Every structure is written in structure tokens, then in C-alpha cells.
Amino acid sequence: MKTTRVVQKILSNYEGETPGVKAKLAGILMNGKLGGTGKMIILPVDQGFEHGPARSFAPNPGGYDPHYHYQLAIDAGLNAYAAPLGMLEAGADTFAGQIPTILKVNSANSLIPNEAPKTQAITASVDDALRLGCSAIGFTVYPGSSAALNMFGDIAEMRREAAAKGIATVIWSYPRGEALDKDGETAIDIGAYAAQIAALLGAHIIKIKLSTDHLSLPEAKKVYEAQDIDVATQAARVRHCVQSAFDGRRLMVFSGGAAKGADAVYDDARAIRDGGGNGSIIGRNSFQRERSDALDMLNKLVEIYRGKA
């Protein structure tokens, strides 16, 4: 596999990393319609665990079948497909080598009492990722939760093992928990903090949510106002989060969030592109649509990230 200069430049930011990890990152970056551009679109399908089957797949019943998602990601020309253990095992042989995969190694569910600390159980291992031929493991942390420190410790250990075995790490850094109200979960100061935490934990690819212009922490608000940090537009907030993850030295993708109209999805992608983000990790907004509509949407997103739409 030949890599482009853009990809080589990105890989050079991962100083001290193992050749195996860099090869896995190169495989993701060079795959699909955006291969070689430094931009990525990843299909994540962990919503069945997080929200339940009907909420996730009833809008488009084909999604109940794990093979559907593999094929959608392949046909759309995406960079990678991410899912929990069972989903990947259900198609790993049929689709072996056809698209890079990311094994989501921890998960939560909607049946946990609201008053319980926000955390996730480890549901798969680095050896599972090796067995299934995955390019990376994916792990969620919840900055803001009383259980966050345990999650940081868990991913630190798993990341160390994965790197030693030549597998990259993607960290979903989602502010959530007792320390935050609803506005705080998507506030720009908290989002930038979440990006920094993921980078410091050693993430090779960081996944965060798009932020609002709300400032949640009083002490941080003073600095944002004193330093006149621009958070007025979505592109500016993306730029600030990218800056917060080692000034762009780490790959960063943004989640698609709850189901929304196509125009809103496209506007988000343009803001990510214009703010210097590396792309989208978009689940419900793609697989809950009828297959042809999903393919049209994903193709339009490719064009946006190529600067053609």
C-alpha cells in the first residue's frame, strides 16, 4: 500500500509509536473514497447496546442484520467500520480484508438506573481485536463522571497492550456525569477539555461531539473571555477542539449525534472540514435511512470533505 504525502505527514505526528500502529492508521487513512486525503468517514454501530434494538434499527429494519452495516460501509467507500464484539464477529469472516474495522471494547446500556455513576463495562479485549483482524480498539470515557478515573486507568492499560501488539486506539471522549448539567455536556470549554484528555490518554484517533458556544466552567469562562477565544461559529469551535488536541497533531473525528435532517448533517460536515477536523463518525444519521438514501448522503459527505460541495 502506497501512502500519500498527506498521510505520511499525519503519521509523522505520532512520534515514538510502533510501526504496527502506524501501519494500522495508514490502512484506515488510505481506505475508501477519502483514502489519502487525511479525511475520514467512519460508520459506528454500537447503538444497539447503548439504546436497544428497536430504537436503533426499526427505522430501517435491514440494520438488524450485522452484515448490512459491513456492506453499507464497504459500498459507501468509508474508511472504517466500528462495532462491539458480537457485531464484528457476525461478519468478520465474510468481510475479512474488505474494510478496516474498529472493535468497541466497552459499552453501556439504557437499562442502568439514572442515578448510577456514568461508566461502561469492558466487553472485549485486545486479543479479540487481533483475532478479528481489527485495525483499532475503540473505548469510551466519560469526563465528568465520578467513575471517570477508573475508565482512564482501564484505557491506559488497554492502550498500552494494543500498541505493543500493533493495534491503534480510538477514544470516544464524551463529557457526561454528576459534575455536568445537560448544557455542560456539549459546552465548548468542556468539549475542548475532553479532546485534551483523550490526547493525553494516548488516543491515536479522538472522537468527540460537536460543541455549542456555551461556557460551563466559571474559571474557564474567565480565560475564554480574557483571551478572546473565538467560539462563535461551529467551525471556530471545531478549530479550538483541534487546537486542544496537541494543535492538530492527533486525528479527530466528530460524532453525528441524534437523527437529524440531511442538510444539518451536511452543515456539520462543512464546519468540521473548515475547522480543520479530520472527519465524521456517523451512525444513526446514515444506517437509519433507507439504503439508497444513506449511500447518497455518505457520497455527499465525501464530496464535502473533498472540498467539492
Residue-level pLDDT at 260: 85
**For this structure, is 207 an active site residue?**
yes
Residue-level pLDDT at 265: 96
Residue-level pLDDT at 256: 84
Which pLDDT band, with edges at 50, 70 and 90, does 259 fall under? confident
Select which of 22, 33, 207, 209 is catalytic: 207
Residue-level pLDDT at 178: 95
Residue-level pLDDT at 257: 77
Residue-level pLDDT at 58: 97
Q: Transcribe 186-231 into DSSP letters.
A: TBHHHHHHHHHHHHHTT-SEEEEPPPBS----HHHHHHHHHTT---
pTM: 0.97
Over residues 132-143, mean pLDDT: 98
CA 28/CA 253 separation, integer angstroms: 13
Of 306, 308, 287, the C-alpha closest to 51 is 287
Which pLDDT band, with edges at 50, 70 and 90, does 258 fall under? confident
| Interval 174-233: pLDDT, tens | 999 999 999 999 999 999 999 999 999 999 999 999 999 999 999 999 999 999 999 999
Which pLDDT band, with edges at 50, 70 and 90, does 35 fall under? very high
Report whether pLDDT(1) > 90.
no
Strands (E), the chain: 40-44, 80-84, 101-104, 106-107, 121-122, 136-141, 168-173, 205-208, 251-255, 279-281
Report whether pLDDT(156) > 90.
yes
Report whether pLDDT(69) > 80.
yes
